Amino acid sequence: MPFVVRRLLAVAPTILVVATVTFIALQIIPGDIAQIMLGTDARPEDVTRLRRELGLNRPLAVRYVEWLGNLLRGDLGTSITYREPVGRLIVARLPVTYSVAFAAMLVAIGIALPLGIAAARRAWSPLDLTALVGSQLGLAVPTFWMGILLLLGFAAALPIFPLQGYVGFTRDPVQWLRHLALPAIALGVERAAALTRMVRASVLEELTRDYVRTARSKGLREPSVLRRHVLRNALIPVLTVMGLQLGFLLGGTIVVEQVFGLPGLGRLLLQGIYSRDLVVVQGAVITIAVTFALLNLLVDLLYAAVDPRITYD
């Protein structure tokens, strides 16, 4: 069986486990959707009636099997609070979250690659030390705080970027970019910090290898040594980390979407958890899990592109 097909098949059980864990987790955390919908006006009789009408008094196992059956048919269910099919809610939000995560990744790579390589080439120089200290700082600053600072600085005090919201790419590419800029920076900088250290360490290690000495003694110029020999080898571990980072970024969008008022998957997930809307939470979690699995597959395929010694059959 081809590698890609095998990997795709392996995703299915992962999703089942994720779905089941989410289902159980939401049963364990206290809070009941009927009680939350009715708020502080709720009388016990209202809660009982609404629970019955929402079908929440049926046994847990029945509801789980029913939901799973629907999932297999590709139906994620209908949200109780939103009164809309969850599939529709998610499809509307995916472009937002993917755009933010992707843009943040670009910011992270854009900072980390040149900085990491430069730092490794001049290890322990003032530039390297600055990069090290900077990345430590970048890791320490919470995305949330960074986001608020960026907003107050570049959207409120200096109204260069929009304060809140999102505009789709197809609607207006310039506005799309403007709305993404600050969230991508807020989210990307933290990842860049982690990635810079990784790139630096990886490049530094490769630079001491024998083949580098051989390449240099052949008379190859330094940029060529770097590009054709060092980076190819150094990028393998970096790629792995980048794949994982994208997972982090998908999680990180929850915070950024809240701060920048972006109507993405993260905000939907958060609202779903607050209101204990099980189908919304499951739909969002499964979407994130599938995305993550596919990204990892993509990273595996990229290995082969970077390193011709790696092949999949």
Which positions touch another protein (CB under 8 A)? 29-32, 35-47, 49-50, 53-54, 81-84, 89, 92-93, 148, 151-152, 155-157, 159-166, 174-175, 177-178, 181, 221, 258-259, 261-263, 267-268, 271, 273-276
Q: 212-221: long-range contacts at Cβ-Cβ below 8 A with a sequence spacing of 24 or more?
A: none
Residue number, 152 or 304, with CB nearest to another protein: 152
User: Hey, what are 76's tokens?
Assistant: 């994620």
Residue number, 36 or 244, with CB nearest to another protein: 36
Which amino acid is located at 114 in the chain? P
Q: Dihedral of CA 244/236/181/120: which sign?
A: positive
Residue number, 231 or 239, with CB nearest to another protein: 231
Residue number, 92 or 132, with CB nearest to another protein: 92
* Least distance from another protein to the Cβ atom of residue 176, Å: 10
Our measurement of the distance from residue 115's CA atom to the centroid of its chain's CA atoms, rounded to an integer in Å, reads: 23
* Strand, helix or coil for residue 142: coil
* Strand, helix or coil for residue 78: strand
* Least distance from another protein to the Cβ atom of residue 13, Å: 31
* Strand, helix or coil for residue 137: helix
Residue number, 35 or 296, with CB nearest to another protein: 35
The CA-to-CA distance between both ends of the chain, in Å, stands at 8
Residue number, 38 or 212, with CB nearest to another protein: 38
* Least distance from another protein to the Cβ atom of residue 309, Å: 30
Q: Measured between alpha carbons, how far is 290 from 269 in angstroms, rounded to an integer? A: 15
* Least distance from another protein to the Cβ atom of residue 78, Å: 11
* Least distance from another protein to the Cβ atom of residue 269, Å: 11
* Least distance from another protein to the Cβ atom of residue 256, Å: 11
Q: Measured between alpha carbons, how far is 216 from 41 in angstroms, rounded to an integer? A: 77
